[in-house]
Structure formats: C-alpha cells, structure tokens
Structure 1
C-alpha cells in the first residue's frame, strides 16, 4: 500500500463507508512500517505521525495494534461528526467523548475548514505535544494573544482545538505561539518548538516579509539567541536647545519581522510614556543607562544579543554615543560601545513627510542590502568620501545612486555634518561608516576598508564593536575611539511611526 491508498481508507472511515478489509489493510500498513500521513477528511485535517507513544484522545498506545487502530477509527469518525454519542462502548470510545479529547494534538490535529493552518499542520504543529504544557500557561497565552475586545467568554479553556480555531479567526496564531514560547515555566525544548512554530506561521502568511528577517543583519551565527533591540530617540524641545525629550523601547525578539506593535515594550515610567522624559544634554547618558537597566530586567534569564539603536538629529549625529559610560556590577563603569553594538539612526527618517517622499526608495536600497548581507562588502557598492574641502552635498547624493553605503575616511567638520546627512537622507542610503576625528600619520582608508571586509556585511556592527574593544584596551590614539556607524533598517522604526504606516483596518 502507498500513502494514497491509506488516505483513501481514511476517507472511507470518515464517511462510514469502510469495510472490514479496509481496517485489516490499514492495520497491516501501520504495523508494517513507520508511516507519516497527512489527510484531509471532510472539513478536518488528520495527521498520522510516525513513532512510538501514539496519542489518541486521553490514551497513549505504545504500538500500532488492533486496539490502537480501532481507537483511530473512532477518533476519525468523531472528528467527522459521525458519532455524536460515544458514552457507551469500550474505553477508547469513552476517551474520544471527553470534552478535552483533543487536548493532546500530537496525533490528530483538528483545524477549522477555512484555517490558514492547513499547510502548517503537517510540519510545525506535528511535533507539538500540548499535554506537556500546563493548562494555565495555555490559557494565559490565549488571553494575551486575543484582541482586548474579543468575545471569548463561552470558550472552554482546556479545549486546545477550539482555542486554535478561535485564534485563527482573529488571525492571532502567531501571537499565541509567541507568547507561549516566552513562558519561562516551560522547558527550553518546548519553548524552542513553540518559537519555531510562530516563525513558520509568519513565513507562511508573509513569505515576502520572511526575507526581511533582522537576523540577516547580525545574528546569522547566533542561533538560539533572542534578537533584542534597545531603541531610543533624542529630540530637541521646541524653542529650547537646553532641554531634550527622550523616548525608549525594548524589542525582546525581532527575529521574525512582523508589523506588530505589541513587540515594543516602553522603557519609560507610565506617566512619561505619552510624551517622553525631559533632560539636559549632559544627563542623556544617565537616562540611557536607566533604559538599559530596565531592558536587562526584561531580558533576565534569557539568552540574547542586544543592539542599541539611537535616533539623533543630523546635527548631533557626531555625538559619541559609543563613548557613554554605563553601570557594570563588577567594574562599576564601562564604555557602552565595547559592551553593545551601537547603531546610529537619523531622527529625520521618522518624519512622516520624509517617509511619504522617500520610504519607497529606502525599501529599494534596503532590499539591495539584503542581497549582499552574507557576502564580503563589495567596494563598488560603497561610495567613498575622502576629503571635505570641495564637498558638495548634491554631488555626493548623485554618487550615492545605486550604492548601499558610504564610507567617509576623513572627519566631517561640524559645519558640514548637516549637509553630509542631507545627501545621505535624500539618497536613502542605508549604511554609512565614518571617523569623527582625523588621526595624524594614520591610514584611515586602509583601516576602514579592513573593518568593512573583515567579515560578511551582516557582521559589520560587530566588527565595529570589536574595533572599539581593542581601542579600550590601550591608551594611545586608536580608530576605535572615533568610529561611527549608521545602519538604517526601514522595517524597524519606532512604534508611533509604524502605527502611522499601517494600512487602515490592519
């Protein structure tokens, strides 16, 4: 018998048209070899997975034998609505009738007719054993995943099939599996499976977005780590150059890019979250240190790689963010940029009028970045600015066309920084690397080229961090003290801006 023959028998069982020969043949096929079958029976999907410890209802069978096959027949017929009352009869039938009969879904997956999980049921869901997950954990993830106004009062919290169907109707399956994967009371192996299921759901629903995974930036060799981001914005208060407004958010895991605002956790106190926190320029490092401490509390007990992204106005883009000091429990104070990769971002790119005019081109250039992320940076794809005496921003903008990045091997004068970034912003160039200071008798071109080609492009921010770490270990002048990196991913903006970019009704 082949798989199609078995599927035909299953369909006859579902419609109660099978014969004794069908049952005999099915038993022989299941006993004879380990098989794996996914079949559409009426409006339900039924998966028969290979292996031992076969789960049917509340019963576990150690092998395919007559009793297990009879239980399978009853389960299929129950799933297809053939038997509405199975309280009489043998133990298998009584097991089938229990209200939480499908609490364990490793063996039979029941999914709604119009479910977009049809294809997924064969792969990511087949290895999930919900019986190993406490009901309270399932109910909590269920409540957290549903929209706040969802009408769910009549659902039974221990019916996993009904939960999956309800979540699917609300298009909240990803949120459910994502929430469940972050439940620290569950074993790590189960959490990893749940996390992979969430990623598979997104990749099935948004195949194009799957190529936008931020893991391509930096995490390709960091398997198992959460892709965490501390995102901060620094804005001047109106008519007051002394006061600045800070906002900050944590993304605990950005491994799957999905336009979901729930991935942002505000790092401000509740009474500040609407506007931000006010401070003077010299107090900004202390505030960032506070945001960092709050982020680390959220990440406590997790494995992660944390990147700090700071949005600055163009005229402040030369701020030595990487040189700011942060608290350390052992040495009390360390330099931010040697502990965490730092990415500078342009505050102007969060302006809605800018996005209306330039976002489409920005996406185009970022897509080009993604095609070469795992390659050694191609020098032709980086425009080179090595002197500022004859600098003209329009000329630079023209030279940035079809380039993914800019390398500046001379320190831009403060008076020309704004014009430099006018070229970068209008060209929508995603990456720029430059030195903030000219070191005498030092070959800046060779040094920056070495950083660019040291590892594939996706590791550039880590290469910059390593350069800063080397500088921190010595006292003489070093490029690592002055190196700055701009890295502009248009798919990772602040939540207020992402909300504006959402299509009405999403």
Structure 2
C-alpha cells in the first residue's frame, strides 16, 4: 500500500534479502516535493495496526515527528486508532479479568434465576483496544463450554467455582512482571446489590479468602455495553477524572443523600458531577440515574447502620486519597476487614462497593461501521 504500482517490477531481478533492505529501498523511492516519503507512510500504517509494543510505538511516533513533511497530518490519525493515545489510562499495563453476567427472560422464569456468563482476560491493557485490537484479549472457557461459545448459563450459587475456574486459566498467561489482575464484574442492576467481593475462593491450600481481599474488585453496569446513548457525556466525564487523577477524591465527589430519583437526576445534572458517594445502597432507579447521567465513579456502603464506628468519618478518611488510588484503597479496606469478620467486628471494608466505569476498558467488540 506504500509502494508505487511498478515497484515490484523494478525489484524483479534484485529482490531484497531482508526487511532492512526493503525499508532502505522504500526510503530511496523518489516522491513529489509535498508528498510524504514512502517510508513515512509505511511507519504511519504500521502504527495504525495497534499491535506493537507501547515503547516501540512511542519511538515510531517520535521518528515521524522528525522525518515527516507534516507530522500533524499523520499523528492525529494514528492516535485516533490507538487506545493508548485516546486517554492517559491510569494503569494501562495492568492485567484485567473481565466477567460479565447478563440476565435472560428465558432463564429468569425459573425458580432459581440463572445468568449468561462470559469472561475475558487482558494480560496488558496497553496492548489492547476493545474495538480494533483483540489479539491480546483471551476468551476464557466456562466449565460447560461446548468449544463454540464463550457464554453459558449459571446460577449465583455456582459462581465461586466458576471464578476459581477462570482464575486457574490465567496461570498459562501469567508472567513474572505482571501484577495481580484486577477483577471487573459487568452486572445487571439487580446483581449490583450482590456482595461479589465477599465470595470466598479456595486455592490449593484450601483456605477460604474473600475475593475482594485478595484482588482489586470493581463493578460496572452491563447497561453501558450495548447501545448506550450517553457515550459522549461518559467519555467527557472520564476525561475529567483522568485530568484530576492526582487530586484528592473529596474535591471531586458529590455526597448524595437523595432518596427520590427525580431529585437526584436534577442535582447530578446541575452539578455536572463526575463522581458520587451515595449515603445508602442504591435502588434500581438510582442506578438508572447513574447510567443516565454517565457518572464514571460511584462509591457506596452496602449497609450504614453501624453501632461501633462512624461510617461517614471512615468514608471521608478513605476518600482522602488521589482519585486514581481509590480502587486500591478500597481493596486495602476490604483486606483490613477480613480478619475482623471472625469476631464479627464492624469495619466499612466488609461493605464497600465501587462502581468504576472506564469507557476504554470493555470486552472485545466489532465496530461494523469501520469495516469495508
């Protein structure tokens, strides 16, 4: 695509022996004064594949800046195809386990509701783009998978075994340099009340440890995966989160005490809120307002009737951190609460739920509008 139509005819008697020689010949091809050199076009196309190491991509972009006639004509195009340039991700080399549970009318009619379950593993977010670069995302099998589908039906009672099954599959993708994966649950509204973070996982040592004490566990609304009308507002608010990632959470969070969803909607829209602390567990209508107003970050306690601790004080202390540190701070609170459960000691870490809606961290999708 970067060569003149007659280039291969010129090379017929002297085909290059190496990739280096091909690049050298591309560099030697004459072109119009105002046209980009063939080698520059080649590097531009290479960047658009998105399937190159992050550091190499940075070096190639710098090379384009130094060698292209009009670098600005090329770099905005390449960056539009790269997740890494669309937004300065807070932890872009972090591995993720994505687990989606979706309700189905067919299965909800049963006495015990079952859910469609899918799971994916992203070893390195910096080498992943949910629209254009799926190669570095691994589709995980489910125990009853037939080899053709990555989606099966399970009850919540089976979820602990299912999570163990997913985590066991990550072993073959593990690297020494990888940190522990963060676990992201995409859930329908009714399941956002379920304490997934307290599901106990047994390793080979047979010790039951809550998954939220061992891993950073965050929640997402499955609503935002399909035909979400408020994508633009969501992206704008997430950019604000990124721009303020070094500031203290307390400066960005709106403390909300509305029980009426209409009042909450009006308040969030007037404030143009980007992060919310709810004073009690949200009902379904409140969760719908959160999605409707495209709030990226929401924190709440699953219970607030503590007898021995001041939960509001504890929450303010938790939020006295940079906003990009909040997921790990929530994990720390859950870990600190773990040994207290044996003696039934109160701790906010038993009851913390964090909605963390990163619009760039999604399961792989095909954008049919870009296909030709």
The TM-score, its normalising length taken from structure 1, stands at 0.58
| 1:492 positional shift | 1.7
| 1:351 positional shift | 2.3
Asked if 1:198 is matched to 2:68, the reply is no
2:27–2:38 CA contact under 8 A, matched in 1: no
Asked if 1:342 is matched to 2:217, the reply is yes
Q: Deviations over 1:239-296 (max 9, x none)?
A: 3222211000011111256442223210025635536122112102211221121123
Asked if 1:396 is matched to 2:264, the reply is yes
Query: In angstroms, what is the RMSD of aligned CA positions?
Result: 3.3
Q: Which residue number in structure 1 is paired with residue 20 of structure 2?
A: 102
The verdict on how the C-alpha distance between 1:359 and 1:244 changes in structure 2, with shifts beyond 3 A counting, is same
Unaligned runs of 5+ in 1: 1-42, 44-80, 86-96, 120-164, 179-194, 220-225
The verdict on how the C-alpha distance between 1:410 and 1:171 changes in structure 2, with shifts beyond 3 A counting, is closer
1:393–1:420 CA contact under 8 A, matched in 2: yes
Between the aligned partners of 2:19 and 2:234, the Cα distance in structure 1 is 51
Between the aligned partners of 1:246 and 1:343, the Cα distance in structure 2 is 17
2:273–2:295 CA contact under 8 A, matched in 1: yes
| 1:328 positional shift | 2.5
Q: 2:255 aligns with which of 384, 391, 407?
A: 384
Q: Deviations over 1:153-210 (max 9, x none)?
A: xxxxxxxxxxxx5x975766542x34xxxxxxxxxxxxxxxx4103555895207854
| 1:360 positional shift | 1.4
The verdict on how the C-alpha distance between 1:243 and 1:411 changes in structure 2, with shifts beyond 3 A counting, is closer
The verdict on how the C-alpha distance between 1:261 and 1:503 changes in structure 2, with shifts beyond 3 A counting, is farther
Between the aligned partners of 2:94 and 2:120, the Cα distance in structure 1 is 14
The within-5 A match list for 1:145-164 is none
Q: 2:356 aligns with which of 487, 490, 495?
A: 487
Between the aligned partners of 1:104 and 1:116, the Cα distance in structure 2 is 11
Between the aligned partners of 2:39 and 2:22, the Cα distance in structure 1 is 17
Asked if 1:252 is matched to 2:123, the reply is yes
The within-5 A match list for 1:84-95 is none
Between the aligned partners of 1:324 and 1:98, the Cα distance in structure 2 is 59
When Rg is computed on C-alpha atoms for both structures, the one with the higher figure is 1
| 1:411 positional shift | 3.7
* Local SS of the residue matching 2:243: helix
1:246–1:278 CA contact under 8 A, matched in 2: yes
Between the aligned partners of 1:371 and 1:274, the Cα distance in structure 2 is 39
The verdict on how the C-alpha distance between 1:315 and 1:499 changes in structure 2, with shifts beyond 3 A counting, is same
The within-5 A match list for 1:90-489 is 99-100=17-18, 102=20, 111=27, 118=40, 174-175=50-51, 177-178=52-53, 195-201=54-60, 204=75, 205-206=78-79, 209-213=83-87, 215-216=89-90, 218=91, 226-241=93-108, 242-255=113-126, 258=129, 259=131, 260-268=133-141, 271=146, 274=149, 276-330=151-205, 332-352=207-227, 355=228, 357-379=229-251, 381-386=252-257, 391-401=259-269, 402-412=272-282, 417-438=283-304, 439-453=306-320, 455-475=321-341, 476-489=345-358
* Local SS of the residue matching 2:153: strand
Between the aligned partners of 2:28 and 2:201, the Cα distance in structure 1 is 52
2:95–2:178 CA contact under 8 A, matched in 1: no
* Local SS of the residue matching 2:366: helix
2:141–2:150 CA contact under 8 A, matched in 1: no
2:97–2:182 CA contact under 8 A, matched in 1: yes
Unaligned runs of 5+ in 2: 4-9, 30-35, 63-74
1:268–1:277 CA contact under 8 A, matched in 2: no
2:50–2:127 CA contact under 8 A, matched in 1: no
The verdict on how the C-alpha distance between 1:118 and 1:287 changes in structure 2, with shifts beyond 3 A counting, is same
Q: Deviations over 1:337-382 (max 9, x none)?
A: 1111111000111122xx2x21111111111111101221243x32
Asked if 1:499 is matched to 2:366, the reply is yes
Matched residue count: 327
The TM-score, its normalising length taken from structure 2, stands at 0.77
1:202–1:256 CA contact under 8 A, matched in 2: no
Between the aligned partners of 1:173 and 1:99, the Cα distance in structure 2 is 24
The verdict on how the C-alpha distance between 1:325 and 1:172 changes in structure 2, with shifts beyond 3 A counting, is same
Higher relative contact order (CA 8 A, sep 6+): 2
